[in-house]
Amino acid sequence: MRLTEEQASIIRQAARQVFGSGTDVWLFGSRVHDSKRGGDIDLYIETEGGVKVVLDRELAFHATLQRRLGEQRIDIVVHRQGVPLRPIDIEVRATGVRL
């Protein structure tokens, strides 16, 4: 995994702060693989809530990470609990790393 423990901790803390204590967050994409180089930070969040609430939280989470991690390319995929799984949700659960 190509995140430092400090970066992973910042991401976990921000997810709990913005989405709530029961939130799961995964790292996926190229940063999961130690042998790859570069790439943005791809994060997957599972949370509950309505569409507007979740979107507001996603934007707040991104802003929080930019402040705490510095300017980074960060992609966030959010799955609302209770909504059918999409192909990306299934892929992340199979190949991602839970932080």
One-letter amino acid of 69:
L
Which of the two residues, 20 and 35, has the higher pLDDT score? Answer: 20
Query: How would residue 88 be classed by pLDDT, with cut points 50, 70 and 90?
Result: very high
**CA 53/CA 57 separation, integer angstroms:** 6
The domain limits of the chain are 5-98
Residue-wise pLDDT tens digits, 23-59: 889 999 988 977 777 678 999 999 988 999 999 999 9
**Fold assignment, 5-98:** Beta Polymerase; domain 2 (3.30.460)
Q: Is 98 helix (H, G, I), strand (E, B) or coil?
A: strand
